[in-house]
Amino acid sequence: MALRYALLAALHESPATGYELTQRFRSRLANVWNASHQQVYRELGKLLEEGKLLAESVPQPDKPDKKRYHLTVAGQKDLKQWLDKPQPRPPAKDPFLVKLFAGNLADKAVLQGEAEKMREEWERQLAYYRSIEEEYFQQPDALPAHYRYQYLALRRGITQVIASLEWLDELENGL
């Protein structure tokens, strides 16, 4: 999937500046797509050029005007066409699993150290996802449909991290 569709989906929710979009990718979209500030602005420029977006100048006191991006009809059509097409699952690529595949040749302490670092990272990620859940989705049953789908995407991230932490328990017992 290209960043363009993550941006089109985010702008379908509401118009936003590049900065606001970057903040969405760091918060509510954290488990959906990862993009740097530069990547977001580069892709916004392309979408603007293609007529998928309009940019509205928003004056700011003592600063240059900022651009608030809006989806055009062409942008909505592009997003809808993409949504209607089945997407292939991304291929599995995990260097740590390759190490485990040949684990009998590896130093056990090295594998254990990597597993511990993964645990710390996944625990941080889980805490972050839970903070998003707490901030934006306190009453999931009362959410409008649009936000319910976002909540379900977040829940996938949460359950994946929980499953990964459970797998680490198995790994540590098996090493």
Q: What is the 3-state secondary structure (H, E, C) of the chain?
A: CCHHHHHHHHHHHCCEEHHHHHHHHHCCCCCCCCCCHHHHHHHHHHHHHCCCEEEEEEEECCEEEEEEEEECHHHHHHHHHHHHCCCCCCCCCCHHHHHHHCHHHCCHHHHHHHHHHHHHHHHHHHHHHHHHHHHHCCCHHHCCHHHHHHHHHHHHHHHHHHHHHHHHHHHHHHC
Phi-psi region for residue 2, left (φ > 0), alpha (ψ -120 to 50) or beta?
beta
For the chain, the average pLDDT equals 93
Q: Is the pLDDT of residue 122 over 80?
A: yes
Instruction: Return the pLDDT at 171.
Output: 95
Q: What is the pLDDT of residues 144-160, one digit of tens each?
A: 988 899 899 999 999 99
Architecture of domain 1-84: Orthogonal Bundle (1.10)
Instruction: Return the pLDDT at 175.
Output: 85
d(CA 41, CA 45): 6
* CB neighbours of residue 172 within 10 Å: 13
Instruction: Return the pLDDT at 1.
Output: 60
Residue reference for tokens 């903070």: 131
Alpha-carbon distances of 107 from 64, 99, 103, 104, 112, rounded to whole Å: 56, 10, 8, 8, 9
Q: What is the pLDDT of residues 33-63, one digit of tens each?
A: 888 899 999 999 999 999 999 999 999 999 9
